[in-house]
Amino acid sequence: MTTKTKTRRQKVLSRTAVPPGRKTDQPQTADNYLNIATNLIDISPLNHRKYYDEDALKSFGTELKQHGIISPIMVRIVKPGRYELVAGERRFRASKLADLQTMPAVVRELTDEQVIEIQLAENIQREDPHPLHEAQGIAQLQTLGLSIEEISARLGRSRKYIFGRIRLASLIEPLQLIFLAGKFSLADANAIAAISADGQQEFFKQECRNWQKKEFRIYNLSGILNQYRYDLKRAPFDTKNKMLVPEAGACTKCQFNTAVLKELFPEEAKSATCTNKTCYQSKCSAHFNLMIASAVSEHQPIALITGYNVSERTLAALKASPLTRDLPIHQADEITIFEEPVMPTKEDFTDPWAQDDDEDAEFDQEGFEVALQEHQAELLEFQQIRERESTKIGLRVWDSSVKAVLFNTERPRSARYGSAASVTSKQVQEAIKNGTATVELLIGEVARLKGREERAKQIDRDKVQAAVHHQFAEHYQQLEHNLEQTDADTCALRLLIFEGLDYHSRNKVKATIFDQQPDEAMDEQEATYQALCNLTLQQHLLLVRMALAAKPESKLPRSQAAYTLYKVAEQSGLDVVAIENAQQEIAEARKARMETKVALLDKKVERLQQVTLEAE
């Protein structure tokens, strides 16, 4: 049956083939075929194939000039006297290049859906059809409402194959040209087509601007495309939240989530990966804005703190937000940040090398207790820092997180114990055991151990001071234990007076009393104590009298401080009598003026009273 049909068609074609250059004004019927003028034929807008190799078409046109058209094209009538090309567009284009005036054609009545199917079948049945042409045809069938299952049944291809071709059809036009030019493999094209259209546009702009050059080639394509893929398991936002960006919905049902396609592409569903860079970043931005709003509402920060590696997009978001755009931005390494001390755990002091039956060697109880004491001291220091007027609340901002911290604008001091805080005993021991210990790690452990010993010594001093303070307060509350004044009492009295001075008075006294350079062997506390103990009588009196004069109430005559200041001034030789006499003279003169005015007024009163009596 097949052989007979083919022989009959060859006979028909031989009768209807048109020699090169022959002109025919009217179509001529030959069985079911017409000989149609090329100027009456329009290219079908339904044909998915848009690109043809111009050089190949010219070569084909030259061949048509020599041998004519062997296979007819297929058309349908769109209106009287006009035909729409259904199949054979490559032959039609080549014939026009060859200046052929007519073409043999079979005319059929066809719907749009039938036209698309015929065009797709023609491309698929060609020897080695280009995957993109096939993909575009399959995508057109889908636009007509056919499901993947229906397309699969009509074309005799698996669902996975059909879906893969539909995805390939999502390549943007510039990348389609590169694929058709043979500069992308099918695997490359499929990988690129998996990312969103926005991502493809950016990829083309960044990587493919010179694709028409002969030497064009993209190295490490997979690595480059990873810039457009995001692991949703590590996303900073809730991937199930469909209201974060309402128009995008939840990631768990998104076509750009590879996990959603696990039925068709199980190899891509091992991890949930987003391939829509624009959508992913918009959700990151929305989540970031929510974090900022929550943190600002809760902590009321006065500044933002960032690092040099924060992205431009994050900085732009901070400057655009009405909640943060007016807040100053500090670099983290240009200020001092105070972190709340972390409670030590027993795990930090457990030796991973100890034997199971050696409980004493397994856990460093003494070290753990010292660490707990150290933590309490550090926590107390942190609370004191929190209460300082210079300590402020800021938001430390990374690209994916926001944290409230305490800070001041002083430049950070170097750590007391190097990088010891960055390592633990357990980490060091495990590194040594695994053979991964580095010089920096071991140096850090040495610094940590030395730092711990220094802090332990400080705790010892704290304990001694606390015990002495307790017994001192208990003992000297009883009058009989206060029999004589020691040199230290004198020094303590002077210290209390000195610390009670206001800022201006203290600086003035400092310049007079502490004018000698302290012994370099002494620390600051000992040097201050010795200076107070060694005050001369003049310096002592200066300190007392400056303190008394600095008290505001010493200016008010009815206060105890004022009365005492008067007595000190009087007994120290100040001529208070002269001051009083000068003021007395002023008072007497004032009194005399007042008495003169009163006498005049009295006379006026008498006169007015007399006039009143006469009137009565």
- pLDDT tens-digit readout, 433-464: 777 777 777 887 787 778 777 777 877 887 88
Token readout for 79 is: 């209106």
pLDDT recorded at residue 125: 60
Distance CA 410, CA 391 (A): 10
pLDDT recorded at residue 5: 36
User: Which secondary-structure segment (H or E) carries 37?
Assistant: strand 33-37
Q: What is the mean pLDDT of residues 104-108?
A: 86
pLDDT recorded at residue 586: 92
Token readout for 544 is: 């007392």
User: Which secondary-structure segment (H or E) carries 76?
Assistant: strand 73-79
Could you tell me the strand order of the sheet in which 102-107 lies? Answer: 28-30, 33-37, 102-107, 73-79, 82-87, 41-42
Q: Residue 355: exposed, middle, or buried by beta-carbon count in 10 A (0-12, 13-18, 19+)? A: exposed
The answer to whether the CB of 338 falls within 8 A of the CB of 385 is yes
> Residue 404 carries which side chain, given as an amino acid letter?
A
Distance CA 286, CA 395 (A): 18
pLDDT surpassing 60 at residue 27: no
The answer to whether the CB of 546 falls within 8 A of the CB of 508 is yes
The answer to whether the CB of 299 falls within 8 A of the CB of 393 is yes
pLDDT surpassing 70 at residue 124: no
The answer to whether the CB of 85 falls within 8 A of the CB of 39 is no
* Phi (first) and psi of residue 163, to 5 degrees: -65, -40
Poorest-pLDDT segment among 296-300, 364-368, 473-477, 602-606: 364-368
pLDDT surpassing 50 at residue 11: no
Instruction: Give the count of alpha carbons within 13 A of 337, CB side only.
Output: 17
Q: What is the mean pLDDT of residues 201-205?
A: 91
pLDDT recorded at residue 80: 83
Instruction: Give the count of alpha carbons within 13 A of 594, CB side only.
Output: 6
pLDDT recorded at residue 156: 80
Which range is most confident: 39-48, 355-364, 605-614?
A: 605-614
Q: What is the mean pLDDT of residues 549-568?
A: 88
Q: What angle do CA 329, 333, 339 make, to 5 degrees?
A: 90
Q: What is the mean pLDDT of residues 485-504?
A: 88
383 band by pLDDT with thresholds 50, 70 and 90: confident
Torsion of CA 374, 377, 378, 379, to 10 degrees: 120
How many Å is the maximal CA-CA distance in the chain? 162
Q: Which sequence positions are flagged as catalytic?
A: 89
265 band by pLDDT with thresholds 50, 70 and 90: low
315-335 residue pLDDT tens: 888 888 899 989 999 988 888
Q: What is the mean pLDDT of residues 280-285?
A: 88
Comparing 265 with 257, which gets the higher pLDDT?
257
Distance CA 589, CA 607 (A): 28
Distance CA 322, CA 172 (A): 38
Distance CA 19, CA 67 (A): 8
Helices and strands (DSSP H and E) totals, the chain: 23, 13
Could you tell me the strand order of the sheet in which 303-306 lies? Answer: 329-331, 303-306, 392-397, 402-408, 336-338
171 band by pLDDT with thresholds 50, 70 and 90: very high
pLDDT recorded at residue 351: 61
Angle between helix 131-143 and 186-193 (nearest 10): 40
| Averaged confidence pLDDT in the chain | 79
Distance CA 271, CA 286 (A): 24
The answer to whether the CB of 29 falls within 8 A of the CB of 107 is no
Distance CA 86, CA 93 (A): 13
For the residues of 232-301, what is the DSSP string, one character each?
A: GGG-SS-TT-TTSSTTT--GGG-TTBGGGGTTT-GGG-SS-EE--HHHHHHHHHHHHHHHHHHHHHHH--
Which range is most confident: 294-298, 352-356, 414-418, 513-517?
A: 294-298
Poorest-pLDDT segment among 19-28, 241-250, 486-495: 19-28
414 band by pLDDT with thresholds 50, 70 and 90: very low
pLDDT recorded at residue 425: 65
Q: Which contacts of 250-258 are long-range, i.e. CB under 8 A and separated by 24 or more positions?
A: 251/283, 254/279, 256/196, 257/232, 258/194
Q: What is the mean pLDDT of residues 3-7?
A: 37
pLDDT recorded at residue 10: 35
pLDDT recorded at residue 20: 36
- Indicate the length of the chain as a whole number: 616
Distance CA 167, CA 194 (A): 7
Distance CA 13, CA 6 (A): 10
Residues facing 280 on adjacent strands: none
Q: What is the mean pLDDT of residues 36-57?
A: 74
The answer to whether the CB of 37 falls within 8 A of the CB of 75 is no
pLDDT recorded at residue 386: 87
Token readout for 613 is: 């009596």
589 band by pLDDT with thresholds 50, 70 and 90: very high
515 band by pLDDT with thresholds 50, 70 and 90: low
pLDDT recorded at residue 521: 62
Q: What angle do CA 282, 287, 288 make, to 5 degrees?
A: 95
